[in-house]
Amino acid sequence: MSHGIDIGTFGVWTSLLDLHPTGQVREVVAELDDMGWGALWRPESSGRDPLVSAALWLDACPRMAVATGIAQTYARHPLTTMAAGRTLDEAFPGRFLLGLGVSHAPMVEGVRGLDYSTPLRDMEEHLDAMDAAPFTGFGPDGRPPRILAALGPKMLALSATKADGAHPYFATPEHTAQAREIIGPDKFLAPEHMVLLETDPDRARRVARDNMARYLALPNYANNLKRLGFTDDDISSVSDRLVDAIVLWGDLDSIVARVREHLDAGADHVCVQALVEDPADLPLDNWRRLAEALL
């Protein structure tokens, strides 16, 4: 690969740290670093600012990379996006990966009161404006690496022409193979996959459905699932077939084997999201067990 991104093969994806005090979060980040994870990924929704959080997390650990998965383009001006990325890249060379995305209509129109009718065009214009924006701060010439949240073929294609790769979320190894075909061999591909260390089928699928519900209500994810061959009935009923594809549950060996299917399908890096029954809990033990098995 020639994308110039080196964050290891496996990372942790989580939104759970926003529910805990910053002091505790810094301790957890340092522990994840000690476990050997290559990167720590975080989203942007209605919690803490992802770029401010990235600075705090990077300062809390000496080795691990931090990636936004993703920062919303509608939330900030292109100059602001560019300046934040370059600030973090200079302060923590090679350890910050800027993931950008257009989010979803409910977050953009419903929460921010902005227009979401042309997300693909808006993303392209945002990236072009980032590249054209002035930057007078200290730091290396050239922009730091950036990747796009991409599911459909058009956004995946844009991630290859205007960015350094793609970060698909709520997808499958089958999608990873399709994404690799679209973005080509030299772009960075980092899919996310939910995992649950639970061998009881009923409990595993119940926890999985609870975690999947908010995503299935968003058209971007539902449309991508249909492209992968899932039906309206699969989505509305949250069928066992759909649950078992989106959430990898079972014992440690079976989960590790299925996570590695993304690598066989063409991924460079897999973002592992360990699910919990109670969002207030942190899956520290699961992160440790997964790190020992994967890293």
In Å, how far are 48, 187, 188, 257 from 131, measured between CA atoms? 26, 19, 19, 40
Say if 202 falls within a structural domain: no
Say if 203 falls within a structural domain: no
Share of the chain above pLDDT 90, in %: 93
Say if 17 falls within a structural domain: yes
Say if 207 falls within a structural domain: no
What pLDDT, on the 0 to 100 scale, is given for residue 40? 98
Average confidence (pLDDT) over 271-293: 96
CATH code of the domain containing 89: 3.20.20.30
Average confidence (pLDDT) over 53-63: 98
Confidence of residue 5 (pLDDT cuts 50, 70, 90): confident
Confidence of residue 211 (pLDDT cuts 50, 70, 90): very high
CB 158 within 8 A of CB 112: no
Instruction: Give the tens place of pLDDT for each residue, 125-142.
Output: 999 999 999 999 999 888
Say if 3 falls within a structural domain: no
| Secondary structure element (H or E) that encloses residue 101, with its range | strand 96-101
Please say if the pLDDT value at position 22 is more than 50.
Answer: yes
Say if 227 falls within a structural domain: no
Q: Is 12 helix (H, G, I), strand (E, B) or coil?
A: strand
Q: How far apart are CA 195 and CA 270, in angstroms?
A: 12
Please say if the pLDDT value at position 237 is more than 50.
Answer: yes
Average confidence (pLDDT) over 258-275: 98
Instruction: Give the tens place of pLDDT for each residue, 180-206.
Output: 999 999 999 999 999 999 999 999 999
Please say if the pLDDT value at position 1 is more than 50.
Answer: no
Say if 51 falls within a structural domain: yes
Confidence of residue 160 (pLDDT cuts 50, 70, 90): very high
What pLDDT, on the 0 to 100 scale, is given for residue 2? 45
Q: How many CA atoms lie within 13 A of 134 on its CB side?
A: 1
Say if 216 falls within a structural domain: no
CB 175 within 8 A of CB 224: yes
Q: How does strand 96-101 pair with strand 192-197?
A: unpaired
Q: Which domain holds residue 143?
A: 10-194+262-289
Helix axis angle, 252-264 to 284-294, nearest 10°? 60
Residue 77: left if φ>0, alpha if ψ -120 to 50, beta else—which one?
beta
- Work out how many domains the chain is built from and give that number: 1
Confidence of residue 107 (pLDDT cuts 50, 70, 90): confident
